[in-house]
Amino acid sequence: MTYQVHIIGGGMAGSEAAWQLARRGVRVRLSEMRGSPEGDRSPAHQGDGLAELVCSNSFRSDDSDKNAVGLLHHDMRQCDSLIMAAAAKARVPAGSALAVDRDVFSAEVEAALAAQPTLDVVRERIDTLPAEGLCIIATGPLTAPALAERIGAATGADSLAFFDAIAPIVYRDSIDMDVAWMASRWDKGAEASLEMGGDGRDYINCPMNKEQYRAFRQGLLDGDKTVFREWEANTPYFDGCMPIEVMAERGEETLRFGPMKPVGLDNPHWATPEHPNGRWPYAVVQLRQDNKLGTLWNMVGFQTKLKHAAQVALFRTIPGLENAEFARLGGLHRNTFLNSPTLLDRQLRLKSAPSIRFAGQITGCEGYVESASVGLLAGLMTAAQIAGKPWTPPPRTTALGALLSHITGDAEADSYQPMNVNFGLFPPVDPDVKKKQRKEAYTARGKADLLGWLPTLA
């Protein structure tokens, strides 16, 4: 097959870009180094499946009426996103969030791409930038060193870098439910959970009193941690994946106002005649279902750089997890990304080499859905270019448009850092709209404007 587009990287962004192109009849070569004869794999990946989820199994909120990431879900679904279709098939109960069985999800993506007659998935490592032809680089935040070096040479600038930490996963049957209990905070998302086959209580909660919390925080501070290499020492963290021990260092109460927030969670084990529903604990550790079978649960917000032995010892001091068995312990890896507002044009093309587009987390977006959405846009842009059609960007009032605009020029280049989609990236709504109604105003405007843009893709 003679290829029209070469996509490098079979993660979320590369898979989505390949789907958008192939379903329009474009001939695509998708190169993925995992599964190659050389046996290459990034430090964070566990297997060879396309679109493997290496951190959380959650795509975060699926509420398209009040949440920016939920609106991004909506935008992608309207664009026939493969990632969103696969997530629907792999979904597991998580309240109002969209969480998936990671193995089922990856298998769905791979099967859909394998069925495309104009798409070839080739297991190979690419070490150089293509000298000719259209290319989309979607190698993610763990780009192989040789290719990263070539990208650095082509951009004429040093890539930025940050650390992204992975949360542990616990076997469900090793959790003591005589101590822990199931509930969603304030019962939020219970209706959505019930519709999906859940019971409205989608999180396992492990309670702590004041003394237990303080001892746990001290254990985080004192625990044996990964020692960074000299060249990693000054790499900043992205706040969305802040290691829990780094949060602990920020103050005694930081965790209680973050991932260990107890509000809205009545512990039925602490029920009394005066409080028949139970009382809120001083702090709480939450676990979220990680696979469809419900056998694996991940510790929400517990990404960590503690060494494995230290993790096991400390996490087993958590009430309910005294006998916990871990399917995966936490880890830490170094991420790299471009200063995209400086290096890329409004169509994600490298200014110094316009035949090359970048997509996904290497552009500086953060999050599974954001990464896939930039891959979706790169695929649509490239398809329009091949067809000789003008490209009309999505309105900045849409989630797709707001994120794209931020990456390709609206962000401050001097302080550019990874960013999740959020309403701060959108043009302001009418200042007369009441504060409590602004989220709905953002989403209603975005949905309406997306409907006006979709015909440009025909």
Question: Count of alpha carbons within 13 Å of 402, Cβ hemisphere only?
Answer: 26
**Cβ-based neighbour number of residue 107 at 10 Å:** 17
Confidence band (pLDDT; 50, 70, 90) for 78? very high
Burial class (CB in 10 A: 0-12, 13-18, 19+), 436: exposed
The reported pLDDT for the residue numbered 157 is 62
| Cβ–Cβ < 8 Å for 26, 1 | no
| Structure tokens, 146 | 């040789």
Does 41 have pLDDT greater than 90? no
Does 193 have pLDDT greater than 50? no
The reported pLDDT for the residue numbered 185 is 86
The reported pLDDT for the residue numbered 254 is 96
Confidence band (pLDDT; 50, 70, 90) for 231? very low
The reported pLDDT for the residue numbered 295 is 87
Rounded-to-integer distance, Cα 16 and Cα 18, Å? 5
* Mutual angle of helices 368-387 and 82-90, in 10-degree steps: 140
Does 212 have pLDDT greater than 60? yes
The reported pLDDT for the residue numbered 17 is 98
Handedness of CA 336, 133, 372, 118 (dihedral sign): negative
- Average pLDDT, integer, range 237-258: 87
**Cβ-based neighbour number of residue 151 at 10 Å:** 23
Handedness of CA 308, 310, 313, 317 (dihedral sign): negative
Q: Which amino acid is at 424?
A: G
The reported pLDDT for the residue numbered 51 is 94
Does 15 have pLDDT greater than 80? yes
The reported pLDDT for the residue numbered 158 is 60
The reported pLDDT for the residue numbered 251 is 95
Rounded-to-integer distance, Cα 392 and Cα 453, Å? 8
Rounded-to-integer distance, Cα 143 and Cα 338, Å? 11
- Whether the model clears a pTM of 0.75, i.e. scores above it, the answer is yes
**371 SS3 class:** helix
| Structure tokens, 331 | 């880890």
Handedness of CA 358, 36, 106, 162 (dihedral sign): negative
Does 103 have pLDDT greater than 60? yes
- Average pLDDT, integer, range 426-448: 94
Q: Which helix (H) or strand (E) holds 87?
A: helix 82-90
For residue 296, the 8-state DSSP code is E
| Cβ–Cβ < 8 Å for 243, 231 | no
- Tokens 């290691």 label which residue? 243
In this predicted model, what pLDDT tens digit does every residue of 338-390 receive, in sequence order? 889 999 999 999 999 999 999 999 998 989 999 999 999 999 999 999 999 99
For residue 84, the 8-state DSSP code is H
Angstrom CA distances, 286 to 22, 41, 183, 301, 332, stand at 41, 31, 9, 8, 21
pLDDT-above-90 percentage for the chain: 67
The reported pLDDT for the residue numbered 56 is 83
- Which of 82-86, 139-143, 276-280 bottoms out in mean pLDDT, i.e. has the lowest? 139-143
Rounded-to-integer distance, Cα 73 and Cα 88, Å? 11
Confidence band (pLDDT; 50, 70, 90) for 190? very low
| Structure tokens, 296 | 């694996």
Q: Which helix (H) or strand (E) holds 213?
A: helix 210-222
Does 134 have pLDDT greater than 80? yes
Q: Which helix (H) or strand (E) holds 86?
A: helix 82-90
In this predicted model, what pLDDT tens digit does every residue of 295-342 receive, in sequence order? 889 999 998 989 999 999 999 999 999 999 998 888 776 677 888 999
Angle (CA) 105 108 110, round 5°:
110
The reported pLDDT for the residue numbered 233 is 60
- Which of 71-85, 246-260, 305-319, 325-339 bottoms out in mean pLDDT, i.e. has the lowest? 325-339
